[in-house]
Chains A and B, each alone.
Chain A
Amino acid sequence: MSRFSKTLMALMVAAAATSFVTPAAAFDRYQGVGRPATAAEVKAWDIDVRPDFVGLPTGKGTVDQGVELWETHCASCHGAFGESNEVFTPLVGGTTLDDIKTGHVKSLVTGSSPQRTTLMKVPTVATLFDYIQRAMPWTAPKSLKPDETYAILAYLLNLADVVPADYELSDQNIREVQERMPNRNGMTTDHGMWPGAPLAKGGLGNGGKPDTKNVACMKDCKKEVQIVSFLPDYAQDAHGNLAEQNRPVGQTRGKQTGEPSAAAGGGTQTAAAAALALAGEKGCMACHGVANKIVGPGYNEILAKYKGQADIETKLIAKLKAGGQGVWGAVPMPPQGHVKDEELKQLVQWILEGAKAQ
């Protein structure tokens, strides 16, 4: 009860009274779960701008103001003219004055532009406003004020000749700009891949009708097999050594492409890391912690006990080989006969150097 505000209670009563289609007592059913949002909360998060400009904030900004803001906030990644291909595909390019007339970007058909830029594709100017306001600059999203967003968008549109250099873009004239978007007529929803109601029933598309019609033929389905594409030689090792990207057992192995990487041999490990791994592999860590006693003493306790003592390395190796008890308590250490001499040496040296992990 305590979590229900008065407003909500009032709303629920009202809903019940008007016999709403959905169960009016829904909040009631899950008592104590959720609460109404405040107007300020909705305002803080509901920032989307739809193609029909629902949600567009009021404001304005000139191309000139945009140039400066662009320099400060955008040019480092997108280039001074939105042309950069460094961080992302170019934002501007590939559109013509003729496209602005037709609303169809011709280079999408002719392939005359090497990249498909943002301005070649985007049909709706609201999309750009929404996206810049929500996500850019990439490393400081949602930091732009509405006027700044208008100005930056004005500059971006000017780069594609959608608006002139002396333009001031605002919530008042943005609809006119929509009528000049180069690819405004470039979208279709006449396809079968919208998962909701079709256009005829208030949704989109053709109601899920697919555009390919294969048949499950089982025998003699064609005369010959024509291989139309394969991976060219120069691309064979572009993805690294495939042997290292496959399991070392099973039905198959990966193919060696290029040189084995350093990581494959595990040789980039430091001596300390190798010793720690060896201690794990040989079962020492089952009974010894680095700093703490388990069954036997912690390695650091061993170091503290024998620090500076002559011959200690040889003595401890001998102890490990023979096993023994009584130094640390009644519990014996079994003989470590499965560990080779040089490995014992490696382990003891590591312990006497502080049993570090790296």
Chain B
Amino acid sequence: MANSEFRLGRIQPAPENFLTDEQIQSVKEGRRDFLRKAFLGASAAMMAPAVARAAGEGDPAILNLPSWTTSLGLPVATHPYGLPSKYERGLVRRESPGLTRVGGSSVSFTPLQGLFGIVTPSGLHFERHHQGWHDIDPSQHRLMINGMVKTNSVFTMDDLMRLPSVSRIHFIECGANTGMEWGNVAVPTVQYSHGMLSCSEFTGVPLKAILDMCGADYKKGRFILAEGADGSSMTRTIPMEMVESGEVLVAYGMNGEMLRPENGYPLRLVVPGVQGVSWVKWLRRIEVGDKPWGAKDEAVHYIDLMPDGQHRQYSSVQECKSVITTPSGGQILLDKGFYNVSGMAWSGRGKITRVDVSTDGGINWRQARLETPVLSKAVTRFNIDWVWDGKPAILQSRAVDDTGFVQPGYGQLRAARGTKSIYHNNAIQSWKVVESGEVSNVQVL
């Protein structure tokens, strides 16, 4: 609790108050002259000591009953499919300007800076398409199984949805997540640095059950090819060991409803712990074979360039990684005092066993609380108490998984792989906090 009697606001006015609605309007109308003044005024206000905004009886937000307390609200089913509050409109998927050239072969990033817990709202799940997306008629969708099987087979959605199903929570991370940061800081916020990450509950059928039905030759057929039904007909090779373990799913459900079209409606592969490109969307075919396929996205992309000029091919696992999402780059702390530092940790090799947090750039560390559930190959939420004394700080998180692997620093990662590999950057992220409360993206060795 703050001790000042009428501590109605914060010491620092929230930055969205920099401009009044009228000022915003005049910017739109092309008048900009006042802007400079407005910012000067705002920064002066930020220097000012604590001022109780409404001395006297108390907070107008309490004393003057608001309209929602004194009027009738909206009826049920105003939105037959519910929408977030209009005040949440800033937290949407966004592209990183200049990263790609056409929207049909591009990425939109999940706003991790605003998410809680471990599940990504389906409408905010990141997107990566290679040849645009379609909303496929599920009654016309087919899954074919062929290759080293006894019976080449075809399944309709009706067929697949009749089979015994499982529901599992897993993260999906694009192999290129944090790829822009290999050489240097390139983006301002966690949305762009880590937002090709989502975590959902997926419902579907273990692929093993389907391959069993078709009589797969597990002895010779040690690889499978997954293929999409879109124009790119994305293909990726997946080891049969993962299928046999039962963890690879042919999934139609996501967070209690069907998959969203952007995420592969009506059918996608779920390959826990492996980079998103292998989770083939709009899945139309699985082939069983005795050798990997060297597809475009495993021979031209999703290959990691090493300093000696060799590319690592078939690099698929997303290694242990974590990031603090609050506070994070591009944000401002409004005041000194208590904060709940919160973030996400995940590992493609299993469960998160601990996360440590440093506020001094990695000299000293404290163990964070892991919130339940802690699931294998899923995002784990961590939290830790922090009292900010108003002095510069550098926040970092470092995750450990149940293989004992400790998330590396930039120095270690670059020593092993250089700075040009694009994919699989799982380095410790640093957020610098300065006296004004501004948080920014920095790299620390």
Q: Are A34 and B153 in contact (CB under 8 A)?
A: yes
Per the bound structure, the CA–CA distance linking A126 and B298 in Å amounts to: 12
Whether B308 contacts A109 by the Cβ 8 Å rule is yes
Q: Which of B67, B97, B349, B413 contacts A212 (CB 8 A)?
A: B413
- Bits for A225-268, please: 1 = Cβ < 8 Å to B, else 0: 11111110001101110111111111111111101101011011
Q: In chain B, what residue has the closest Cβ to A51?
A: B294
**Within the complex, which residue of A33, A124, A127, A141 is in contact with B162, where a contact is CB–CB below 8 Å?**
A33
Q: Which residues of B contact A353 (CB under 8 A)?
A: none
Would A239 and B187 be within 8 Å (CB), given that A26-B215, A46-B285, A222-B363 are in contact? Answer: yes
Interface centre among B18, B287, B289, B310 (most CB of A within 10 A): B310
- Tell me whether A219 and B364 are in contact (CB under 8 A): yes
Nearest-CB residue, chain A, relative to B244: A196
Partner of A227, one of B146, B147, B406, B444: B444
Interface centre among A11, A208, A228, A245 (most CB of B within 10 A): A245
Taking CB atoms, residues of chain A closer than 8 Å to B311 are 108, 121, 186-188
Segment among B54-62, B119-127, B165-173, B312-320 that sits at the interface with chain A: B312-320
Q: When A226-B444, A229-B185 are in contact, do A45 and B144 touch as well, CB less than 8 Å?
A: yes
Interface residues in A273-309 (C-beta closer than 8 Å to B): 280-283, 285-286, 294
A36 to B235, CA, bound (A): 23
A134 within 8 A of B: yes
Q: Which residue of B lies closest to A211 (CB)?
A: B416
Could you mark each residue 255-273 of chain B with 1 if its beta carbon is under 8 Å from any beta carbon of chain A, else 0? 0000000000000000101
Interface residues contributed by chain A, number (CB under 8 Å): 126
Q: How many Å from the CB of B215 to the closest CB on chain A?
A: 6
A246 touches B146 (CB 8 A): no
Q: Does A131 contact B (CB under 8 A)?
A: yes
Interface stretch (choices B1-9, B23-31, B196-204): B23-31
What's the tally of chain B residues with a CB closer than 8 Å to chain A? Answer: 156
- 15 new A-B pairs (CB below 8 Å) besides A225-B362, A231-B440, A242-B331? A29-B213, A108-B309, A124-B294, A127-B296, A190-B312, A197-B241, A210-B405, A214-B408, A228-B444, A240-B97, A246-B90, A251-B333, A254-B330, A259-B35, A267-B25
25 A-B residue pairs with Cβ-Cβ distance under 8 Å, sorted by A, are A26-B215, A30-B209, A51-B293, A104-B309, A116-B305, A126-B294, A138-B105, A141-B233, A142-B231, A194-B239, A195-B241, A196-B242, A217-B365, A230-B432, A230-B441, A231-B187, A231-B441, A238-B188, A243-B16, A245-B191, A248-B87, A250-B326, A253-B331, A281-B67, A338-B71
> Footprint of B on A, CB under 8 Å?
8, 11, 15, 20-24, 26-27, 29-30, 32-37, 41-42, 45-48, 50-52, 54, 85-88, 104-106, 108-109, 116, 118, 121-124, 126-128, 130-131, 134-135, 138, 141-142, 186-197, 202-205, 208, 210-222, 225-231, 235-236, 238-240, 242-257, 259-260, 262, 264-265, 267-268, 280-283, 285-286, 294, 338
